[in-house]
Structure 1
C-alpha cells in the first residue's frame, strides 16, 4: 500500500508565567466568576517581558522531533503558522530553525521555510499545505503553530485581555502506512467578514506612527457576538465536509479537536454536530485561546496523557481572522 502523509510526532511548549483570573481582577474591572462563565478560562500562560517568543517554537519543535524519532538533519521543510511575527521580515520560521541549529553542523543550514498567516485556523492551513508538499516529494516536514498574542493585547480592555495566552505547538508530518494518516481536509474563508478580528495598524495600509500607537490601533480587536455565531457554524460546516470527503461519519470519530477559542463555542460546536462532549479535547481552562498553537497543544497533551491512541479517528476544526475556517480528518 502506498505511503500517505501523517502526523508522526507532536510537541508543545508554554511559558512559565501563569496569569490567573484573580490576577486579572487586579488589572481590569472583571472577576473570576465573570471570566469563567463567559469563556471557561481559569488561567493562561504569557511571556514575561524580555522573553523571546521564538523559544516557544524551538522547544515545541524539539519535542515534536523527539516524538517522531527524527533529527533536525532529516527535516526537509519548515512551515510556521503565526499571527504575531517575531519581526515583520524575515518570517518566524527563520528564527526557529536558527534556534534548532547545532552551531557545529552545516548539514541543515539550508532548510527551506515559509510562514502562513490564516488567523486561528493557521495550523490547519499549514497542515494541509504540508500534506500536499509531501505529495511533491518532501518526506519530513515540521509544522509549527506559534503565538504570543499577549504582546498585541490591550490589558485595559476586559473583553479581549481575558481570552488569550501564549504557546507553541508542533507536529512532524512524515510517511505512514496502512489506514493511518491525513485522510481529508476542507479549507474555506469568507473575506467579507474580515473586520470581525483585526489589528488595524502596523501594516502598509496604516503604517505605525505615534498617532496609531496613541489610538490603540496596534491592539487586537474583536467583534465577539459575530465571532461566536460564525465560529460555530463554520467549524461545523468544515467538519461535515471533511468527514464526507474522508467517507467516515461523526459517530466513528474518537476525538474532535476544535480550536480552543471559548468554552461556549466548543459546547455549541459539539451540540450542532450532535457529538458527546466526552469526545471533545478541551484544555482552554488552563491555557486560554492560544490561536494557531491551540490545536497542536491539545494534541500533544492528549498524546502525553495516553488519551490519543494509534488508530483513533480524529477531526481538527478551526476558525480565525480573515475570516478563515477549516477541518482535517486524520487516522492517528
Structure 2
C-alpha cells in the first residue's frame, strides 16, 4: 500500500508587536469601524526592526519539530512571498539555524496559497519515498512590502509563521492527508502583485519611491475570484474524499477577510461555527495563514482528534488550492510573544 503523508507536528509563531485599528487610524485616513466592517480584522502582529521572515520561520519550525517529538527531518520547504533576500533562498539558512545539517531546503512562492502548494509537494515527496519526514513552514512579513498609507492593503495584512511536520503513514490513520487539488491562472497576475523588484522591472536606486515597489491588490476582483475558486476547489476535494457537507467538522480557510470566509462557507453549506476564524486578531498572514489558523483552532477546542477538515486558499498568481485530512491527536507549540532574532 502506498504511504500517505501524515501530519505529526504543528507549531506557530507571531511577532510581539500588536498594531490595532486605532493605531492605524492615527497615521492614515481610516477608522476602526471602517476596517472591522469590511474585513473583520481588529488587530494584527508586525515584525520589529531587524526581524525577518526567516526569523519567524525558525521560531515556528522549531516548535513544529518539538511538537513532532524532535526527530530530524530530511526536507525543508518554506512557503513565502517575503524572503529575506532575492538571492539566495531563505529556506537553507532556516534549516541551518534549526540544526538540520546537509538537509535539502527550498523556497516556494504561491503567495497566500503557498502553504497548500507546499503541503501537496511534501505529500508527493513522502508518497514517492523521496523523503521520510518533511518540515513545511509558511512564513511572511507582509508589513515590509506594504505602502505605509495604503488603507486598501495595510489594515489587512499581518506577519507570522506556522509550520507542520509530515511523516509517512497509512491512508486511514488520523492525520493522513486526503485528496488535494491545486490551480492557477496567470492571466490574473495583476490582481495581486508587487510590480517592481524583479528582472522585468528592477528597482532603480535613483528612485527611492519608485512606483510599483509596494504590494497592490484589486480588492473587488480578488473577492469575486477568491470566493468562486475557493468554493469550487473545496467542493471538488470534499467530493473526492467522499464526504457530505454535514460530515465536515472544520473548514480552515486562508484568512483573507471575514466576508470572503462567510461567502465561501455559505456556498459550501457550512455554518460559520464550523470555520476556523482568527483573522480578527492577526489579519491575513498570507502563507502562514492556514497553519496559524489550525494552531489557534486546536487551542480553542475547534479542532479535535478525528475531525474531518478541509483546507482552502486563494492567492496571487492567481493560485488556489484545497486539501482534506482527518485531524490527528497532536499538541501544537503555542505562538508565544518572545522576541525573534537572527542567529
- Report the TM-score, using the length of structure 1 for normalisation: 0.95
Structure 2 unmatched ranges of 5 or more: 328-343
Q: SS of the residue aligned with 1:309?
A: coil
C-alpha contact (below 8 Å) 1:55/1:99 kept by paired residues: no
The 5 Å alignment of 1:1-332 reads 3-71=3-71, 74-101=72-99, 108-137=100-129, 138-177=131-170, 178-180=172-174, 181-210=176-205, 213-332=208-327
- Using the TM superposition, give the Cα deviation of residue 176 of structure 1 relative to its aligned residue in structure 2, in angstroms: 3.3
- Using the TM superposition, give the Cα deviation of residue 92 of structure 1 relative to its aligned residue in structure 2, in angstroms: 1.4
Q: SS of the residue aligned with 1:50?
A: coil
Take 1:212 and 1:231, find their aligned partners in 2: how far apart are those partners?
34
- Using the TM superposition, give the Cα deviation of residue 214 of structure 1 relative to its aligned residue in structure 2, in angstroms: 2.0
Structure 1 unmatched ranges of 5 or more: 102-107
Take 2:117 and 2:52, find their aligned partners in 1: how far apart are those partners?
25
Q: SS of the residue aligned with 1:125?
A: helix
Take 2:206 and 2:2, find their aligned partners in 1: how far apart are those partners?
58
Q: Which protein has the bigger helix share?
A: 1
Q: 1:212 to 1:250 in 2, by over 3 A?
A: farther
Q: SS of the residue aligned with 2:41?
A: coil
Take 1:193 and 1:224, find their aligned partners in 2: how far apart are those partners?
13
- Using the TM superposition, give the Cα deviation of residue 233 of structure 1 relative to its aligned residue in structure 2, in angstroms: 0.6
Q: Find the counterpart in structure 2 of residue 104 from structure 1.
A: none
C-alpha contact (below 8 Å) 1:39/1:264 kept by paired residues: yes
Alignment RMSD, CA only? 1.3
Corresponding pairs, count: 324
- Report the TM-score, using the length of structure 2 for normalisation: 0.92
- Using the TM superposition, give the Cα deviation of residue 89 of structure 1 relative to its aligned residue in structure 2, in angstroms: 1.2
C-alpha contact (below 8 Å) 2:29/2:151 kept by paired residues: yes
C-alpha contact (below 8 Å) 2:20/2:43 kept by paired residues: yes
Take 1:62 and 1:13, find their aligned partners in 2: how far apart are those partners?
10
